[in-house]
Chains A and B, each alone.
Chain A
Amino acid sequence: MRLTQRSGQRLVAGIPTLWLLVLFLIPFVIVFRISFSEVRLAIPPYTPLLSWHHGAPHLEVHWSAYSFLFTDQLYISSYLYSLKVAAVSTLCCLLIGYPMAYAIAHSGSAVRPVLLMLIVLPFWTSFLLRVYAWIGLLNNNGVINNVLLYLGVIHHPLALMQTDFAVYIGIVYSYLPFMILPLYANLEKHDVTLLEAAADLGARPWRAFWRITVPQSLPGIAAGCLLVFIPAVGEYVIPTLLGRTDQLMIGRVLSDEFFENRDWPVASAVAILMLLVLVVPIMWFQRLERRELEAAK
């Protein structure tokens, strides 16, 4: 009995571990290895890290890919631009998503499933298609410009496409559900008597919201922000379709290095550096989560 239970536990924990190992850790190690090599015209298009010379192992580590990232202004500015776009989009998602999540959490039990369904509904259409649809809306002779021209609000079409604004719209629109759902899951658990206690102690509703609801929803805010921020930093499709051509985001740079330049080491170095940049917010999130677990005990 004990034995089968333990082996069952191992099986349950083993499958996802194996999955992560094969599909995440090994590819990561490969990418990590490539980032320390140099380009060469061969298959594969990079120098081996470890080779055999006269029966002895020979380790050949190149830092050139990394040093290249810091010499060419393109990469640094792409990183910074990506971080800025991701941060602004995350903030917009939070400002729009928090009231929505709050409203859903406080809606009647009859409407709530419908509202949640509406949040998830866009996922039923292809992501790519939905981003393409924005081109039709934002174009010089797209829906928005045509309506504004017709109404006489403007006399010349607004240049909406290929701007930061278009990228923000695309990211906020696409990632908003990832902000709303964890926030809703958090806000829905809140104890109403805490707000009553705050009111009883003299706090007006708005203050009670700031002092009680917001601090208690921090784990939800963190989860939502990470779910938006992390994919937004590496976002490729949205900036490619809607964004500027003079300033690339890092996802686009990575893909160009890989497919256009066929510079695998630099592409890998770009990916590794992006990972390092993202480790900081992930660790912050884990700390918050640990704190919440402690408080829930």
Chain B
Amino acid sequence: MTANPMSAATPSASPDPAAYVRLARVTKKFGDFTAVDEVSLDIRRGEIFCLLGGSGSGKTTLLRMLAGFERPSAGSVYIDGVDMSTIPPYERPVNMMFQSYALFPHMSVEKNVAFGLEQEGLGRDAIRRQVGEILDIVKMGGYGARKPHQLSGGQRQRVALARALVKRPKLLLLDEPLAALDKKLREHTQFELLNIQQRLGVTFIVVTHDQEEAMTLGQRLGVMNHGKIVQVGTPSDIYESPASRFVADFIGSVNMFEGRVSEEGTGFVRIECGELGCAVRAERAVACGHGTTVWTAIRPEKINISRRPPAAGAAGAENAVRGTVREIAYMGDMSIYLVQIDSGKMLRVTLPNITRGGERPLAREEGVWLSWHGSSPVVLTE
């Protein structure tokens, strides 16, 4: 299993009494294709849960089953303790923000937002007041009379959000909420979404393929691959203690080496890595026997780069290799170095550019030492 017992706890193993949304062994098949494969998941009231995965990982199908547009082939979906199997979308206490926003093109912004309230049979004055309030919250107060085609992408996104929120749902499903926005707007909107979520106390389930979006929005993430949830945890759980090579590779970038466990001590293992040309001492308890094949993953920012070998006894003195800088990418806030170590493998190292000028920067083809702390490597068995 994994190095971190925290992330190993799958939700099905320990049912959460506070679960607001519960998926119990939910499977969805389209013909021969299994889009969602026996997924069990508990989502707490008021949290922001992100489903993260590549295209075809089943995340959108999962969301559509929560909304009621797809029926599970097997398993059940519970919302607030009620089995949703036979409840059609128009009777679920759930609203969805569609990736395409799905605004009604023949209706004004006001009419779009009022639509949901009209279905509840609310009075005209109540509808007008609530529509006005929610449009103010999403900062679209002055745009009520516009038609969707007269709005920019960011404005449409706000209207879609307002339309979903005006019904005061307990659960809001967001399908790639920021995908259609440009980078600057996306960052801004992201924080605004968080703000609105906290103000209204809605449970959010967000589907995204963008790990950055998932990390900043989600209080917990579920990483999906081939219809299964491969890991659930907080963003830092998933980043720092990935459960598998897939997760380590999918979230952020990582340097990965295959190796063999050569020594097991208390609180540490030593791994002989042929690719690295040295042994790695990882300060992690790993439940695996002597001689098993494992993978060591080290994040680029956790590798130290220096011209001189680390002093004996200093942190990282043990985990050190020599290499040559092959490529440097200057990103402004940080630089990415591709370093070829003596075994021939290429390592990715990132360093923040802390000082302005000052020290002589590293040059290409310069010989360097790479080192890392014993707590940095993650040992993966699958």
The interface of chain A, by Cβ under 8 A from chain B, is 191, 193-194, 196-204, 207, 211-212, 215-216, 294-297
> Is there an interface contact between B119 and A200, defined as CB atoms closer than 8 Å?
no
> Is there an interface contact between A203 and B104, defined as CB atoms closer than 8 Å?
no
Query: Nearest Cβ in chain B — how far from A61, in angstroms?
Result: 48
Q: Using a Cβ–Cβ cut-off of 8 Å, how many residues does chain B contribute to the interface with A?
A: 26
**Could you name 11 residue pairs across A and B whose Cβ atoms are closer than 8 Å?**
A197-B98, A197-B103, A198-B104, A201-B115, A201-B163, A202-B120, A202-B167, A203-B90, A211-B115, A216-B105, A297-B149
Q: A124 to B120, alpha carbons, bound, how many Å?
A: 51
> Is there an interface contact between B104 and A197, defined as CB atoms closer than 8 Å?
yes
> Is there an interface contact between B95 and A200, defined as CB atoms closer than 8 Å?
yes
Please give, as numbers and ranges, the residues of chain B lying within 8 Å of A204 by CB-CB distance.
90
> Is there an interface contact between B90 and A200, defined as CB atoms closer than 8 Å?
yes
Which of A191, A193, A197, A216 is most buried by chain B, counting CB atoms within 10 A of its CB? A197
The answer to whether B100 has its CB under 8 Å from any CB of chain A is yes
Please give, as numbers and ranges, the residues of chain A lying within 8 Å of B103 by CB-CB distance.
197
> Is there an interface contact between A194 and B102, defined as CB atoms closer than 8 Å?
yes
Please give, as numbers and ranges, the residues of chain B lying within 8 Å of A216 by CB-CB distance.
105-106
* Top-9 shortest CB links A-B: A202-B119, A201-B116, A197-B102, A199-B89, A193-B102, A199-B90, A215-B106, A200-B96, A203-B119
B106: nearest chain-A partner, CB-CB: A215
The answer to whether B69 has its CB under 8 Å from any CB of chain A is yes
Query: Nearest Cβ in chain B — how far from A219, in angstroms?
Result: 10
> Is there an interface contact between A200 and B89, defined as CB atoms closer than 8 Å?
yes
Please give, as numbers and ranges, the residues of chain A lying within 8 Å of B94 by CB-CB distance.
200
Q: A201-B95, A202-B90 are in contact. List 12 more A-B contacts (CB 8 A).
A: A197-B98, A199-B69, A199-B88, A199-B90, A200-B89, A201-B167, A202-B119, A207-B119, A211-B104, A211-B115, A216-B105, A296-B149
Q: A200 to B104, alpha carbons, bound, how many Å?
A: 13
The answer to whether B147 has its CB under 8 Å from any CB of chain A is yes
Given contacts A194-B104, A199-B90, A202-B90, contact A295 B147 (CB under 8 A): yes
Please give, as numbers and ranges, the residues of chain A lying within 8 Å of B104 by CB-CB distance.
194, 197-198, 211-212
> Is there an interface contact between B106 and A202, defined as CB atoms closer than 8 Å?
no
Q: A193 to B105, alpha carbons, bound, how many Å?
A: 12
Query: Nearest Cβ in chain A — how far from B243, in angstroms?
Result: 34
Q: Which of A193, A203, A211, A212 contacts B98 (CB 8 A)?
A: A193
Q: A193 to B98, alpha carbons, bound, how many Å?
A: 8
Q: A211 to B116, alpha carbons, bound, how many Å?
A: 12
The answer to whether B206 has its CB under 8 Å from any CB of chain A is no
The answer to whether B303 has its CB under 8 Å from any CB of chain A is no
Please give, as numbers and ranges, the residues of chain A lying within 8 Å of B167 by CB-CB distance.
201-202
Q: A20 to B239, alpha carbons, bound, how many Å?
A: 71
How would residues 141 to 164 of chain B score, 1 for a CB under 8 Å from any chain A CB and 0 otherwise?
000000101000000000000011
How would residues 99 to 125 of chain B score, 1 for a CB under 8 Å from any chain A CB and 0 otherwise?
010111110000000011001100000
A194: nearest chain-B partner, CB-CB: B102
Please give, as numbers and ranges, the residues of chain A lying within 8 Å of B105 by CB-CB distance.
216, 295
Q: A200 to B119, alpha carbons, bound, how many Å?
A: 11
The answer to whether B67 has its CB under 8 Å from any CB of chain A is yes
> Is there an interface contact between A193 and B100, defined as CB atoms closer than 8 Å?
yes
A200: nearest chain-B partner, CB-CB: B96
Q: A198 to B98, alpha carbons, bound, how many Å?
A: 11
Query: Nearest Cβ in chain B — how far from A292, in angstroms?
Result: 9
Query: Nearest Cβ in chain B — how far from A237, in angstroms?
Result: 39
> Is there an interface contact between A196 and B69, defined as CB atoms closer than 8 Å?
yes
Query: Nearest Cβ in chain A — how far from B130, in angstroms?
Result: 13
Query: Nearest Cβ in chain B — how far from A44, in angstroms?
Result: 53
Q: A280 to B94, alpha carbons, bound, how many Å?
A: 47
Please give, as numbers and ranges, the residues of chain A lying within 8 Å of B116 by CB-CB distance.
201-202
Which of A193, A201, A207, A295 is most buried by chain B, counting CB atoms within 10 A of its CB? A201
A202: nearest chain-B partner, CB-CB: B119
Query: Nearest Cβ in chain B — how far from A110, in angstroms?
Result: 16
> Is there an interface contact between B102 and A191, defined as CB atoms closer than 8 Å?
yes
B89: nearest chain-A partner, CB-CB: A199
Query: Nearest Cβ in chain A — how far from B173, in angstroms?
Result: 9
B116: nearest chain-A partner, CB-CB: A201
Q: Which of B98, B149, B164 contacts A295 (CB 8 A)?
A: B149
Query: Nearest Cβ in chain B — how far from A201, in angstroms?
Result: 4
Please give, as numbers and ranges, the residues of chain B lying within 8 Å of A211 by CB-CB distance.
104, 115
Query: Nearest Cβ in chain B — how far from A195, in angstroms?
Result: 9
Q: A295 to B149, alpha carbons, bound, how many Å?
A: 6
Please give, as numbers and ranges, the residues of chain A lying within 8 Å of B69 by CB-CB distance.
196, 199
Q: A189 to B348, alpha carbons, bound, how many Å?
A: 49
Query: Nearest Cβ in chain B — how far from A162, in angstroms?
Result: 45
Query: Nearest Cβ in chain A — how far from B151, in angstroms?
Result: 12
> Is there an interface contact between A294 and B115, defined as CB atoms closer than 8 Å?
no
> Is there an interface contact between B102 and A203, defined as CB atoms closer than 8 Å?
no
Given contacts A212-B104, A215-B106, contact A200 B67 (CB under 8 A): yes
Please give, as numbers and ranges, the residues of chain A lying within 8 Å of B67 by CB-CB distance.
196, 200
B69: nearest chain-A partner, CB-CB: A196
Query: Nearest Cβ in chain A — how far from B108, in angstroms?
Result: 12
A294: nearest chain-B partner, CB-CB: B149
Q: A202 to B115, alpha carbons, bound, how many Å?
A: 9
A195: nearest chain-B partner, CB-CB: B102
> Is there an interface contact between B95 and A203, defined as CB atoms closer than 8 Å?
no
Q: A295 to B69, alpha carbons, bound, how many Å?
A: 27
Query: Nearest Cβ in chain B — how far from A291, in angstroms?
Result: 9
Q: A204 to B116, alpha carbons, bound, how many Å?
A: 11
> Is there an interface contact between B106 and A196, defined as CB atoms closer than 8 Å?
no
Q: Which of A191, A198, A295, A296 contacts B115 (CB 8 A)?
A: A198
Please give, as numbers and ranges, the residues of chain A lying within 8 Å of B115 by CB-CB distance.
198, 201, 203, 211
Q: Which of B98, B120, B147, B149 contacts A196 (CB 8 A)?
A: B98
